[in-house]
Every structure is written in C-alpha cells, then in structure tokens.
Amino acid sequence: MHPAEFDLSRSYARHVTEEVVLRTKGLVKRFGSITAVDGIDLEVRRGEVVGLLGPNGAGKSTTIGMVLGLITPNAGAAEVLGRDVRVRREDALAGVGAMLEVTSFYPYLSGRDNLVSVALLRGGGALARVEPLLARLGLAQRGGSKFRTYSLGMRQRLGIASTLLGDPALVILDEPANGLDPAGQREIRELIRELAGEDRGVLLASHLLYEVEQVCDRVLVIKKGKLIASGTLAEVTRGGGSYFEIVVDDKARAAQLLRGLGIEEIRETPTGLDVVADADRGAELNRALASAGLYASAIVPRASSLEDVFLELTEPEPPSASPAS
Amino acid sequence: MPWIMLGLIVVAAFGFYFLIWASVNAQLQAVKSGAIPAPPGGTGQFDEVLREIAPDRVPNFGIGLVSGIGSVMLIVFAASHVGTEFGWGTFRTLLAHGASRSGFLVSKAVSLLLYALVFMTVGSLAAIGASYTVSAIAGISAGSGVDLAEVVRVAGNSGYTFLPYMALALAIAVWSKSAGAGIAAGLVVYFAEGIVAGILVSLNKDYAQIVNWGLSRNASALTRTTTAAAGQDPSFSTLPDPTQAAIVLGLYTTIFLALAYWRLRSRDVTVGG
C-alpha cells in the first residue's frame, strides 16, 4: 500500500461525508446453543446519541464486540462509515473510538503513557491530543500516576479519553458512568452531548436509564439478543402510554368501577391504583369515583418514563412461555 | 520485568563465578592446611575447575552458565510477554483501538527475538566481565584471553535453541490466555523432554531415531558441537547433524507461531480477553 493511501485511511474519520456512521444488518451471534444476539439491525447517524438498553445478558456488549470486530458474527454484518468491519476492520476502526465495559490499560504505565501508547497505535495527530484530552477529562493532575493507582472513576475517564484520541466519527461507550460520582456522571453526560454537537455519532450502552433519558436522541431496547423497541425517546415512551396514579382507600371497589368504564389495565399499588387510560380521561375518572362515593385523595396524570417502558419491555416472561424458547 | 531479568543475569554471572572460585578455593586451602584429606586424585581437579574461570574458557563455561539460566528466564518471559496482555485485558483494548491481531502477534514475536538477542549479549558480556574480574582476584592466568568470535558463535547457537521453547510458551499462553500455563508448558517440555530423551537413548541407541525429532536433542546437537566436552558425551554420536538440528528447531518455531496465530485470529475476544 502506498504511504499516502495509508495515511488517508487513517485520517478519514472526520472528513468523510457518510451520514450513517454505524449500520448493522441482521447481526447474529451464537455461543454454543445460546443465541446471544439474534438479528440486530441498528443505525447511528452523525450528531446523534443512540442509547443501547437491555438487562444484563441481553447482548449489548456482544453487539458492540461484533461492531468492533472482537467477536465474529455467525450471520449479518456491521459497517462503520460504509466499511464492512469483517472485510476492512482496521480501516473501519480508524473512524471509531470505543470504550469497553471493563477499562483495561497497562497497570505499570501512567495514565499519560497509556494514552501515548494508544495514540502511537492511532497515528495521525493523536499524539497531540493526549494532553488536551487529559485536561478535558479532569486527569491533568494525575496523568503521571500509574494506572494501577487509579480509582474506578479515573479509569473510566481515561477510557473515555482514549476513545477520542483518533478524533473519531463514531464513539462507542459501554457503561461509561460506572464508578463515577454524581458530579462525574453529569460531566460525562455533558461530554456525550458535546460529542454529538461535534458531529460525531455516539452509541451509548448503559444501565442508567435516567442517563440515557437525558442524553439520547434515540434508544434501542434489546432483550435476549433481539431488538424489541426502537425510536426516539418520545416514540418509545409513548408505547408505554399514559396512566393515572389514583390514591384511594377501597381499591377493590374502585378497580371494579373503573373496569366498568372500559379500562382494562389496572395495577394495584400500596396507596391505591395505577390506571392506564388516555390523558384526557382524568375528569371522567374523578366523576365516576365520586358518584360512587369513592373519594380519591389524589388523581395524578403520569406519562410512562423510559424506566417504566424498559421494565415493562424487559419483564421476564411467565414460566409457561419458556418451554417453547 | 525485562530490566530485572537483565539485571539478574548480570548478577547471576558474577555471583556464580565468585561462588565457584570461593568454594573451590576454600576446599584447596582446607586440603593444604590439612583440615580435610586430599581427594583420591589429588588437588589437580580443583585446579581444573579453577581453570574454567579463566577468560579463554568463557565460550564453554561462561556462555553455558548464561544459557542455562537464560533459557528458563526467556521461557518465562515469552509466556508473560503475551499472557499478561490477556490477564490485564489490554489485548482487548488494543484491538478495540484498531490494532490488528496479526500485527499484535508479529510485534510480540519480533520483540521477543530482539530481547533474546539483547539478553544473550548482556549475559555474554557479564560472563566475560566476571571471568576477568574473578581471574584477577584469584590470580588465575588469563591465558590467550577471550575469543570474541567464538563467544558470539556459541552465544548465537545457544540463543537459537531457545527460540522454539519461547515460541511454544507464547503459543500456549495465547491458547490458554494465561501466562502461567505458557510458563508451565514451556518449562515442562524444556526439562522433561530432555530427560526422557536422554533415558531412552541410554537404554537403546536406536531410540535416537525417534527422539532426534524432538526439541532437546536438536538443541543439544547445536550446543554440544561447540563444547570441548562434546567428545566425552556418550550419546554425542547419536545426536542429529547440526544443520538438520537448526532446520528442525526453525520448523518447530514456525509451527508454534503459526498455531498461535491461527488461534488468535479465530478467537472471539470477550471480557477478560
């Protein structure tokens, strides 16, 4: 390969015009008899933050592993900036900065030297970004300390700094807020939004739903390796519907009465009932309860949060459904 | 670890030279003072041992010493050099940052080769330094001095015989993702194969036809031809031809590296890898 050609391939990340920075098509990964990822299709565009949600073992890290070429898929493909990771892995990854769930660096090297070693691997102008990134991630003071002396939060910050050394078009962050204190978590959320503002695409795998809610433009929910919901936050939470939190003493009578109004989904809570109904039916519910002598202490309209939707979507299946799977 | 090992080989070379001189000299003095009886063959054997310290014996004695200790250290280093990358999870980090698997293995193999070269050079220089120092203290004649060309030839041959063992330790470390397993496998093969081969040949020289395709006999074929004691070795005549030995050892090295590459290329790298 001609040197100039090589340089181009290593520095195209911020100069290509691809709108979709990551696209997977029908990714499948099986470990023995277990299907960890089952036909995942996803897209990340420039300037957007996409949240990858799922319970433990759902297949999030395996999906990321396939995107990075660490794990070979049984079927399907992952393309970064239009380049197939299986065919042109090194070229494709030149445009990616990835932080894995477990942040690992050489323990005997300082944080700064670890970044330098990654920068040498990256080439281009990565070396010049070491000091600015240490400062940006709040590690300038401790940059000279050995990695083994770092706290979990500092390790996470170093991991995030390493993702940005190559000035990537796509940033993949797997649980970046692990071990960070609340202030640190907020900083990371701000940083993620800044990255999107710099026209990078961000794929964020996280267990922290409020974090996802605050920074993500779109979310993908996976369960047992399958994509079960995707869309903007509004689209996904709309799927969970709106409901009323009704504080009432006689829960049984109130539930019977509300079922008579055609409401099917009623959940008992310690203080009363959660009633799934359109947001404009508040007055009707109040009137019906009052006319039956059931005076509610409160009728509060609620919209399903991402957490509600997530828990509902990823709820374990009842035992009767499991033999088929 | 690399610097510690270089320091250790220097200390070991000086330490062994001093130890040998001190212990033999102590026995000589004891015999002379009548504290202990003279051995049946007289004190000539003590003088012969002391002669080994002289600079003109460095190619045989000094390099043999460095090789004996160095082989074990380099097997340990080879397995650790790769195994720790899996233990620390840094192999996964490197791949995630765009490193190629083949590039990783090539860089490890080349750096091991270079380190073995540096190690043997430092070890040889330490042996020469120790020989001159202890000879001066003990009043042993330097004789014709060190034959540098012979030192380079013997050290080169010895270093070459380490390569398949290092490649084996590396391959096992890659397969098992563990430095410990690589060290164990490398050392077991290094010691056990040689012992078993020696026993088999001593029982029946025809067994040489089989064990001569192993590592230890080929390694011996390369190193024994460089020693004056070769002719005194009863199994010397059954050793493979040195050229054949060099080819066989080279083939083993290539095969072990190829196996390591095949495993590294096909492996899924998950947490802990």
pLDDT tens, position by position, for chain B (273 residues)?
Answer: 789 999 999 999 999 999 999 998 888 888 878 788 777 777 778 888 888 888 888 888 899 999 999 999 999 999 999 999 999 999 999 999 989 999 999 999 999 999 999 999 999 999 999 999 999 888 887 778 888 999 999 999 999 999 999 999 999 999 999 999 999 999 999 999 988 988 888 888 788 788 888 898 888 888 875 454 545 555 667 788 889 999 999 999 999 999 999 999 888 887 644
Cα–Cα dist A235/A304, whole Å: 11
- φ, ψ of residue B213 to 5 degrees: the values are -95, 0
pLDDT value of position A7 = 37
Residue A260: is its pLDDT beyond 80?
A: yes
- Indicate the residue of B98, B270, B271 with minimum beta-carbon distance to A121: B98
What is the reported pLDDT for B220?
87
> What is the percent of chain B with per-residue pLDDT over 70, rounded to a whole number?
94
A102 closest CB neighbour out of B100, B268, B271: B271
Is B93 in the A-facing interface, judged by CB distances under 8 Å? yes
* Cross-sheet strand order for the sheet of A20-31: A34-45, A20-31, A75-80, A83-84
Residue A170 has pLDDT above 80, yes or no: yes
- pLDDT in the model for residue B40: 76
CB A221 within 8 A of CB A227: yes
Q: In 3-state terms, what secondary structure has residue A228?
A: strand
Question: Between residues 41 and 100 of chain A, which touch chain B (CB distance below 8 Å)?
Answer: 61-62, 65, 68-72, 89-90, 93-94, 96, 98, 100
Return the number of other C-beta atoms located less than 10 Å from residue A316's C-beta.
Answer: 9
pLDDT tier at A238 (50, 70, 90 boundaries)? low
Determine the residue type at A204: L
B270: nearest CB among A71, A121, A162:
A71
Alpha helix positions (H), A44-110: 60-67, 89-93
Q: Which two tokens stand for residue B217?
A: 């006999």
**A46 DSSP β-pair partners:** none
Measure the CA–CA gap between B2 and B73, rounded to whole angstroms. Answer: 10
Count of Cβ atoms closer than 10 Å to residue A279 Cβ? 12
Determine the residue type at A32. Answer: G
pLDDT tens, A96-150? Answer: 999 988 889 999 999 999 999 999 998 888 999 999 999 999 899 999 999 999 9
Q: How many helices (H) and strands (E) does chain B have?
A: 11, 0
> Average pLDDT, stretch A226-243?
77
Please give the structure tokens belonging to residue A266: 């009623």
- Name the pTM for this structure: 0.79
Contact A72 B268 (CB under 8 A): yes
In chain A, alpha helices (H): 3-11, 60-67, 89-93, 111-122, 130-136, 152-163, 182-197, 209-215, 233-240, 251-259, 282-291, 306-313
Statement: residue A10 has pLDDT above 60: no
User: Is the dihedral angle over the CA atoms A88, A90, A96, A102 positive or is it negative?
Assistant: positive
pLDDT in tens, A76-88: 999 998 899 988 8
Q: Are strands A96-99 and A201-205 parallel, antiparallel or unpaired?
A: unpaired
| Beta carbons within 8 Å of B80's beta carbon, 6+ residues apart | B1, B173, B179, B182, B183
Q: How far is residue B131's CA from residue B128's CA, in Å, rounded to a whole number?
A: 5
pLDDT in tens, A189-234: 898 999 999 889 999 998 788 888 889 999 998 988 898 888 887 7
User: Please, which pLDDT band fits residue A322 given cuts at 50, 70 and 90?
Assistant: very low
* A323 pLDDT tier (thresholds 50, 70, 90): very low
Give CA–CA dist B11/B130, Å, rounded: 9
Is the CB of A104 less than 8 angstroms away from the CB of B88? Answer: yes
DSSP secondary structure letters along B22-52 = HHHHHHHHHHHHTSSPPPTT-THHHHHHHHT
Angle, helix A306-313 to helix A233-240, in steps of 10 degrees: 60
Choose, out of B97, B104, B264, the residue to mutate when testing the contact with A (most A CBs < 10 Å).
Answer: B97
Strand partners, A96: A170
Whether the predicted pLDDT of A59 surpasses 80: yes
CA atoms in the 13 A half-sphere facing the CB of A104: 21
C-beta separation of A37 from A190 below 8 A = no
Amino acid at A236: V
User: Cα Rg for chain B, rounded, in angstroms?
Assistant: 21
Is B269 in CB contact (< 8 Å) with chain A?
Answer: yes
> Which amino acid, residue A317?
E
pLDDT of residue A17: 57
pLDDT band at A324 (very low <50, low <70, confident <90, very high): very low
Pairing assessment for the beta strands A49-53 and A266-268 based on DSSP bridges: unpaired
